[in-house]
Amino acid sequence: MSAEVLVVRCGLVPYEEALVAQRWLRDAREDGSIPDVLLLLEHPAIYTRGRRSTPEELPMAEEWYALQGIEVRDTDRGGRVTYHGPGQLVAYPIVDLRAYGDDVHEFVRRLERVAISSLGDHGVGAQTIEGLTGVWTEDEPSRKIGSIGVHVSRGITTHGLSINVNNDLQPFEWIVPCGIEGCLPSSLGRELGGEQDFDAFAETVAGRYAATYEREAVSATPAELGLENARLGIA
């Protein structure tokens, strides 16, 4: 077992390309040719539907969302519908769960701690709420600031965590986020009253991730992982 996690900053990446990259990395992680990997990136505007999504979570027709410039896509992660867009930090850990007792629930609890501690480092108190998915602000009314949805195949994780940093929050108002009626969205920027340093926050998440999962963070490029054809790494 390697004590490293390779942290790859990927810039703005189309969702489909990120899926292809994750599948390739999952296979490489399974055969032991790479250690654990953490992809940090942003997506163009898209709604993704998890395995438990229902039609009511997207109340308008897909054509209407397309007119707003937002793609709609089904995906194999857990959870329900959510939004990704520029200014939101997405973290995809490609992790062999054997190091964590094959316990996916513990893996998810650690992801929650990564989000909460990272937000706290930047001045926003956050929490989990019993019976609800994701990460929420501490004060009332609680506002959803982070989402979690993972997929496990052959003991290797894909998908992961998203945290709203500077992204437009209006697209959350056009859906039922994570199946939660009346869900109030927020972001680091909204909570602190202005645009935040995205790169600094991503660096915090990488450090908190390494500490929470007991790994040493090592920076890597997409090319070093053989991902040149995925066009990752275009900031």
Active site residues: 178
Transcribe 37-98 into DSSP letters: EEEEEE--SEEEE-TT--GGGS-S-HHHHHHTT-EEEE-SSSS-EEEE-TTEEEEEEE-BGG
CB contact set of 89 (below 8 Å; sequence gap of 6+): 40, 42, 162, 163, 165, 198, 201, 202, 205
Per residue in 44-73, is it b (16+ CB within 10 Å) or e — as a string? ebbbbbbeebeeebbeeeeeebeeeebbbe
Q: Chain-centre distance of CA 220, in angstroms?
A: 19
- The Cα 217–Cα 220 span in angstroms is 9
DSSP reduced 3-state for 182: coil
CA torsion angle 178 93 46 121 (round to 10): 70
With residues binned 3-state (H G I as helix, E B as strand, rest as coil), the percentages for the chain, rounded to 5, are 35, 30, 35
